[in-house]
Structure 1
Amino acid sequence: MRALIAAAIGLAAALALVLTITAIGAPAGKTSPKPLLTTVPKHV
């Protein structure tokens, strides 16, 4: 029974955190126009 209560408290805390982050929204800013390199260029 204690495990069920602990799981419910953890789930409620996680849900509260998600709702808080959703309410705050994404930080303002802009993305860089330069592409990111995902691989190391080969020296041929």
Structure 2
Amino acid sequence: MRAFVAAAIGLAFAFALVLAITAIGAPPGETSPKPLLTTVPEHP
């Protein structure tokens, strides 16, 4: 029974954390126009 209560509390805390982060929203700013490197440069 204790494990069930602990799991329920943990799940509620995780849900509240996700809800709080969602409510705050993304930080202001712009994305970089430069593309990211997706491959490793070849060595000569």
Instruction: Give the TM-score category using the shorter length.
Output: 0.7 to 0.9
**Coordinate RMSD, CA, aligned:** 1.3
SS of aligned partner of 1:4: helix
**Structure 1 consecutive aligned stretches of length 4 or more whose deviation exceeds 4 Å:** none
1:1-44 matches, within 5 Å, as: 1-43=1-43
Q: Give the gaps of 5 or more residues in structure 1.
A: none
Q: Give the gaps of 5 or more residues in structure 2.
A: none
Q: TM-score, normalised by structure 1?
A: 0.86
Q: TM-score, normalised by structure 2?
A: 0.86
